[in-house]
Amino acid sequence: MKVSLLTTFILLLVGVTLPLSLAIPQAYAQHDMGDDAKEHFNKGHEHYKQGRYDDSIAEFKKAMEHDPKDAASLFGLGNSYFLKQDFVQAIKCYQDVTQIKPDFPKAHYALALAYRRVGKPEEAEKEFEIYNRLSTQKPAETPKPAEKKPEPKKPAVKRLEEAPPSEVKPAEKKGAPPEEVLKRARPTEREGKIVPERPFPKEARPAVTVVKKEKKQRNFVARYVRTLKDWGPVGMVLLWSTYYVVAAQVWISIVVLFGLVILWRRR
């Protein structure tokens, strides 16, 4: 009797605990299906665009913990290392990307640039050749335009004089065309999330001040002063030089005038 009760108790215990123990890994697998990796990738991409490369590196690494073979996160990680001047780590990331996706031309181009920075011109030339070969491959054929179906013939329109009164309809007022709402489609594939930026910053160009054309003013002095102020520091130097020359000329004229008056009175 005791043996049967003990056996029954053990069977009940196993029957309750076994389904729970099997459900734990299933729930974990269902939870880790790419959503977390996608969230960390988006955060890393935002940090990358803002120039916070330490934060982008941390987020891309978290994304790779969920999906180690994610080429997009690896490429973003390599770009972040490249812009931090850590070319050795960038080369490792780009090499992993080329192993996962050998036909990804941007990875070969970035890898060639990184090889150049570390003083490996031969490896850089090889990667540039691969990049050129992948970039000059035969493009996908453009779809042919669909053939137009023949439009059904419309019945001839009768004139108002010929149509009977029952067929004459009052003129309808045409309303304004409805506005079309543009919806931006979100990418569903992971391939569309590869970072499109170049792995090195573009050279900053000097800002060009655009001087708007204004109407001609009658006051020449005011227009001259405004033009010099628009020139920046150089214009201010010229403006103060002009003030100095004008003041010096006025002072010299006053001194000469007083000298002439004194000479005239002595005579």
54 has pLDDT over 50: yes
d(CA 52, CA 75): 16
Which pLDDT score is estimated for 79? Answer: 93
Q: Are 34 and 41 in contact (CB under 8 A)?
A: no
d(CA 219, CA 221): 6
Which pLDDT score is estimated for 155? Answer: 58
Picking from 158, 166, 105, 113, the residue whose alpha carbon sits closest to that of residue 130 is: 105
Q: Are 59 and 95 in contact (CB under 8 A)?
A: no
189 has pLDDT over 90: no
71-83 vs 35-49: helix crossing angle, rounded to 10? 30
In the DSSP assignment, the letter for residue 194 is S
d(CA 109, CA 78): 12
33 has pLDDT over 50: no
Task: Return the percentage of the chain with pLDDT > 90, whole number.
Answer: 14
Q: 111: Cβ–Cβ under 8 A, 6 or more apart, which residues?
A: 91, 94, 95, 98, 127
Which pLDDT score is estimated for 252? Answer: 93
Task: Kindly state the average pLDDT of the residues 206-223.
Answer: 56
169 has pLDDT over 80: no
